[in-house]
Structure 1
């Protein structure tokens, strides 16, 4: 039976994640308060950020930027799309 949580991103009940998706305290917070659909939305947004900004997950500055965006996206007022981003038609 899936774990149900109150998702802070969707502001409602959602199926909880199966595992802690990120290291440390932030990962525990995500596991406890973010549902699967919200995490999937973050992964899509993160992919867009990496591609549009040409980020490298190996670069510590880029990882810090992605972590800040992760927190804003899931727990803050939302993250902005990259400047000049135009979605595919």
Structure 2
């Protein structure tokens, strides 16, 4: 599958902007114009955008799981530190 990358910021997050009878491919991060999209290329770009959206959702879910794991570990370590400190002052 073809990849669409912003020349300005390097992002692969893009969207289609209808400009009258023409359609432009725009960078979602910096707003730069990437190219005009022809009728033949439009389905390819739409499929690319949809697949990127699915990948982003998966990456977000992985990040959330990792973050929750770190939070859980930190709270366990915090409780252990509190117990150690309390035992020192008894």
Q: What interval of TM-score do these two structures reach, taking the shorter chain for normalisation? A: under 0.3
TM-score (norm 2): 0.26
Larger Rg: 2
Which structure has the higher relative contact order (CA within 8 Å, separation 6+)?
1
